[in-house]
């Protein structure tokens, strides 16, 4: 399962820790169930280094298939007949904006400030969030629709205060500090346009919850329909071998290997007075009669 490309030039290097997985289950298409369950991507996705057939040795032994995974459906989770909708998306974390301010050395660069404690360890290095997507949550818990910002740079900073012009007021700004306890995210768009130079784009409010996700691949939805019969089993029933035990009224179906797949009881319902047959019944058996083995039955005739 290929899960995305980065830009238009090369596959993205997607790791297991870059992926979120969820699923929804309904027994049929007439039932609505909005319950969403989380899945562990490490349990369902497996990566295998595939051999590359390169007779000219141009590629060499390097692995050029990063981001290619096999999807497994463990029976411990996917164990009921019905429809499973699997949603695979870039890893998403939540955070809260500490401040929206500017850099001391670059007062025209406005950005979002986050607390390092709330940032996953893998994203705490300088520019580790470069290219990540930011979405915004409203006060009522809903998402601010169709409004996203992208991280241009992410650097550790610390607080510094400066005088505002000739007044005695202080402005809180930030300076780069590799040991700082805050992260400054420069996002785009964040500067005003030439059409409206005084109108700054929205980049968030102090205390607002945001969603941060990578942009390594596009979300994927996979629908898995677990059914009792497949095309092969239906073909075995329609066109496969079968034996009718006339004396005991047992009809037996077999697969291509002559293994019993289904059995039915065959009988008639007659009128009590006239003994005239009213119905012919084909009833599925729950207990398989192993004496109806195909080879054993046929060997009796030969």
Q: What is the pLDDT of residues 168-224, one digit of tens each?
A: 555 789 999 999 999 999 998 887 766 676 777 899 999 999 999 999 989 999 999
Q: Does residue 297 sit within a domain?
A: yes
Three-state secondary structure call for residue 88: strand
- What's the domain count of the chain? 3
Q: Give the Cβ contact number of residue 291 at 10 Å.
A: 11
Q: Do 199 and 102 sit in the same domain of this protein?
A: yes
- pLDDT tens, position by position, 58-81: 555 555 556 678 889 999 999 999
**CA angle at residue 175 from 171 to 176, to 5 degrees?**
165
| Structural domain includes residue 108 | yes
Angle at 108 between CA 103 and CA 109, to 5 degrees: 55
Residue 213 lies in a domain: no
- Same domain? 58 vs 12: yes
Give yes or no: residues 239 and 191 share one domain. Answer: no
Last residue of a domain, one of 164, 193, 226: 226
The domain of 288 spans: 231-301
* Kind and range of the H or E run holding 269: strand 260-270
Query: Where is 100: in which H helix or E strand?
Result: strand 99-102
- Please indicate, yes or no, if residue 125 is contained in any of the structural domains: yes
pTM check: above 0.75: no
Domain boundary among 196, 226, 256: 226
pLDDT 10s digits, 117-132: 999 999 999 999 999 9
The verdict on 198 and 131 lying in the same domain is yes
The burial of 196, by beta-carbon neighbours within 10 Å (0-12 exposed, 13-18 middle, 19 or more buried), is given as exposed
């Amino acid at each position: 399962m290929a899960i995305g490309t980065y830009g238009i030039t090369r596959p993205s290097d997607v790791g297991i820790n870059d992926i979120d997985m969820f699923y929804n289950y309904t027994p049929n298409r007439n039932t609505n169930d909005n319950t969403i369950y989380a899945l562990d991507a490490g349990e369902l996705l497996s990566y295998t280094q595939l051999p590359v057939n390169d007779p000219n040795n141009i590629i060499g032994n390097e692995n050029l298939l990063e981001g290619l995974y096999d999807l497994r459906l463990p029976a411990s989770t996917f164990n009921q007949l019905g429809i499973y909708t699997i949603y695979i998306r870039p890893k998403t974390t939540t955070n809260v904006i500490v401040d929206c301010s500017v850099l001391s050395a670059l007062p025209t660069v406005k950005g979002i400030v986050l607390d390092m404690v709330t940032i996953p360890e893998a994203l705490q290095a300088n520019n580790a969030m470069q290219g990540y997507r930011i979405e915004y949550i409203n006060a009522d818990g809903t998402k601010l629709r169709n409004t996203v910002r992208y991280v241009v740079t992410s650097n550790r900073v610390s607080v510094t205060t400066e005088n505002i012009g000739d007044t005695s007021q202080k402005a809180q700004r930030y300076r780069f500090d590799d040991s700082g306890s805050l992260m400054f995210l420069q996002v785009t768009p964040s500067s005003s346009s030439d059409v409206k130079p005084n109108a700054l784009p929205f980049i968030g409010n102090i205390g607002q919850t945001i969603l941060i996700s990578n942009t390594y691949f596009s979300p994927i939805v996979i629908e898995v329909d677990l059914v009792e019969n497949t095309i092969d089993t239906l073909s075995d029933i329609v066109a496969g071998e079968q034996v009718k035990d006339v004396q005991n009224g047992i009809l037996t179906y077999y697969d291509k290997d002559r293994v019993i797949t289904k059995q039915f009881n065959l009988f008639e319902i007659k009128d009590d007075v006239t003994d005239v047959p009213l119905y012919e019944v084909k009833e599925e058996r729950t207990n398989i009669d192993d004496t109806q083995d195909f080879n054993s039955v046929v060997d009796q005739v030969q």
